[in-house]
Structure 1
Amino acid sequence: MRALRFTWRDCLFVHWPVGTAPLENAIPDSLALHTYDGRAWVSVLASTIENARLPGAPRALGMTFPQVNFRTYVRLGDATGVYFLSLDTASRLVTRVARRLYHLPYFHADISIETDGTDETSNAERTRRVRSHRFHPETLPVEFEATYRPNATATVPEPGSLADFLAERYRLFVPQAEMTARVEHDPWTLHPAEADVRAGSLFDAVGLSVPDAEPRVRYCPEMEFHVHAPKRLD
């Protein structure tokens, strides 16, 4: 049963390959890392969540707020999905509710998303900046910053490719609350992008070293999402 719907707007994906051993220490014992050609990955997804609301509720009742998710790829048996290492959001209400009800690692942050360009500049050519500064009382300050611009035509990832592995995820796991939830959305249509990314303190906060490799960066203007009601994690 669908429990929540929203639009993800100006979605920035930043992906890094990481060592499996350190990352295994950052996820619960009940989950296993899901790797691609033997490599583990972590990703940042920065976006504006727009009109988050219950199914059937009018858009006018929805909540809109920026968010920065830091996640990795996991499996439980044959089921694959994502595990959130942290979620930063500018909404105090979302932070309180998600932490209390679902034990998700949400943190309150000051987040800004800016877009350069004029009316004559196409949406896909504009430069964007995301800045997030976490100041939640339970953690040290954590910052994420990215300046990026799409630089190629958007494509749908080919099934079985690395791009498909990193983007097409339809389940999230929250072992802390013994729950999992399915997610529905269309296949991602992604622009390659050039970017200047600063994410070191995100890695520090979960005990990971900052990767030496340059990240893969992708951009999608928008995506409609439906999240199903959580179920018990078996």
Structure 2
Amino acid sequence: MTIKEILQLTKHRPWSLPTGNWKYYQEWNNAVFLHWQVDMKELKKIVPDDLEIDVFDGNPWVSLVAFTMEKIRPRGLPYFPPVSCFDEINIRTYVTYKNKAGVYFLSIEGGTRVSCQIARSLSELPYRYSNMKREENLYHSQNRALKSSLELRYQVGAPMSGKSTLDKWLTEKYALFQDTPTAINEFEIHHVEWPIFEIGLKDVQVNYPKFNNLLSNKPDLAHYSPGVQVIAWGKKRNKKITGI
């Protein structure tokens, strides 16, 4: 699908496209979503006070998304495979900021060291490098320094015939909010609605010591998607109100 065609498909969005030119193109492919319903008190310990934790039926959620980033490039330039394509795992929760719903990353790790360095420098997102291996129906990640790891074996099922309200709430987010010592950075994105497939989890071993009180080896819900083409706008800095 061309970028022009993607930008014309907006009926599924909760608000209008941002004004001004988009800045980056990227693809999020072969994505595995693992979702956990979590305790609000535990989650509040690691989410900035400037962001309001969003809930579904009164309950907060945290998701781990393991996928392959491909073809990331600035507007007007070609992508460069050694930097533009890498495996990524992010752990995110759901927040609102200035009446806009989005995600907040608790953790982001990438499988290519230089890509993590560039992404962290340009975006201020908390990218770190981890040793990753991906094969068909297998995703493995290990970070010896942080003693964290993910071992995931799965089988992709049939396309979901219909999405629940919760399915959409967990996947269809078009803004990202991330904190720095002085600001809340805001990023807007656009893509077509995620195509969602059923997934059978054969083995899930989640070991992130920092999030032991939130994540377990048995997620409450899981999805698979072949992926989406993503258009991203530039970073908007919002001064923090509550401090660090």
| TM exceeding 0.5 | yes
Do 2:25 and 2:74's aligned partners in 1 also have CA atoms closer than 8 Å?
yes
Residue in 2 that maps onto 1:174: 178
Specify the code of the residue in structure 2 equivalent to 1:39: N
Matched, 1:184 2:190: yes
Residue in 1 that maps onto 2:160: 154
Specify the code of the residue in structure 1 equivalent to 2:225: C
| Cα 1:218–1:56 shift into 2, 3 Å | same
Counterparts of 2:219 and 2:227 in 1: how far apart (Å)?
25
Do 1:192 and 1:218's aligned partners in 2 also have CA atoms closer than 8 Å?
yes
Do 2:36 and 2:215's aligned partners in 1 also have CA atoms closer than 8 Å?
no
Specify the code of the residue in structure 2 equivalent to 1:30: D
Do 2:64 and 2:91's aligned partners in 1 also have CA atoms closer than 8 Å?
yes
Do 1:109 and 1:134's aligned partners in 2 also have CA atoms closer than 8 Å?
yes
**How far does the alpha carbon of each residue in 1:139-170 deviate from its partner, in whole angstroms, 9 at most, with x for none?**
52210111111223234635xx0001000000
In structure 2, which of residues 206, 222, 228 is the aligned counterpart of residue 223 of structure 1? Answer: 228
Specify the code of the residue in structure 2 equivalent to 1:197: V
Do 1:156 and 1:188's aligned partners in 2 also have CA atoms closer than 8 Å?
no
Counterparts of 2:110 and 2:80 in 1: how far apart (Å)?
20
**How far does the alpha carbon of each residue in 1:154-189 deviate from its partner, in whole angstroms, 9 at most, with x for none?**
34635xx00010000000001215310101100011
* Residues 48-197 of structure 1 aligned to structure 2 (within 5 Å): 48-59=68-79, 63-115=84-136, 128-135=137-144, 139-155=145-161, 157=163, 161-176=165-180, 177-195=183-201, 196-197=203-204
Q: Indicate the SS of the match to 2:119.
A: helix
Count of equivalent residues = 215
The alignment's C-alpha RMSD in Å is 2.0
TM-score, reference length from structure 2: 0.81
For structure 1, list consecutive stretches of 5 or more residues without a partner in the other structure: 116-127
Amino-acid identity (%): 28
| Cα 1:221–1:94 shift into 2, 3 Å | same
Counterparts of 1:144 and 1:96 in 2: how far apart (Å)?
21
TM-score, reference length from structure 1: 0.84
